[in-house]
């Protein structure tokens, strides 16, 4: 219970008002795993909605949103919307609602394996987004090709809270 209270004390009022209890519990579990890895990810598929939620927990750094967005684009994953939060201790908890270029959920384990490997490589500095995008272009797969997305609505914001409340 102390871990949950500490987590909530570092989060914005918007996070507390808009994030469900089950999702907050998942975030706390992911935060506990962050000590073992530089980035922790989880996927939640919503086939009926034609989307998946990708949750990324990592230390915040300048340009984090663009690094994640560019990596997803390089792997043929569209961002429909995003909820971006940064805790008072500098840990980012970012949730992306994503789909493929045809508007369907990306549920292939192989596709997600490649995507998450690329994301980890970018966030640890082992790979550059520009290189991934160039590889995609060189392979003949245009960025964003595959037809119009089902939804064109995209929202994102980053909330940073002070380390003490």
What pLDDT, on a 0 to 100 scale, did the predictor assign at position 140?
A: 80
Contact partners, residue 53, CB within 8 Å, separation at least 6 = 43, 44, 46, 95, 96, 97, 98
pLDDT digits (tens, 9 = 90+) for 123-164: 999 999 999 999 999 988 665 544 444 433 333 434 444 443
pLDDT-derived band of residue 11, with 50, 70 and 90 as boundaries? very high
Is the pLDDT reported for residue 54 higher than 60?
yes
DSSP for residue 36: G
Mean pLDDT of 93-111: 94
**Tokens coding 44:** 């939640």
d(CA 3, CA 17): 19
What pLDDT, on a 0 to 100 scale, did the predictor assign at position 132?
A: 97
Place of tokens 């037809």: 147
**Tokens coding 63:** 């340009």
């Amino acid at each position: 219970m102390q871990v949950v209270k500490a987590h909530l004390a570092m989060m914005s009022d918007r996070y507390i008002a808009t994030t469900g209890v089950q999702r907050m519990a998942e975030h706390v579990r992911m935060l506990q795993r962050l000590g073992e890895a530089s980035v922790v990810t989880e996927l939640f598929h919503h086939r009926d909605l034609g989307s998946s939620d990708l949750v990324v927990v990592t230390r915040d750094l300048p340009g984090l949103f663009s690094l994640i967005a560019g990596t997803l684009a390089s792997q043929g994953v569209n961002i429909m919307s995003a909820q971006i939060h940064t805790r008072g201790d500098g840990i980012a908890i970012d949730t992306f609602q994503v789909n493929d270029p045809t508007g369907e959920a990306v549920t292939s384990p192989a596709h997600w394996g490649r995507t998450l490997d690329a994301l980890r490589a970018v966030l640890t500095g082992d790979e550059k987004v520009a290189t991934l995008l160039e590889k995609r272009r060189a392979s003949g797969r245009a960025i964003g090709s595959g037809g119009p997305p089902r939804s064109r609505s995209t929202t994102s914001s980053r909330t940073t809270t002070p380390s003490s409340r």
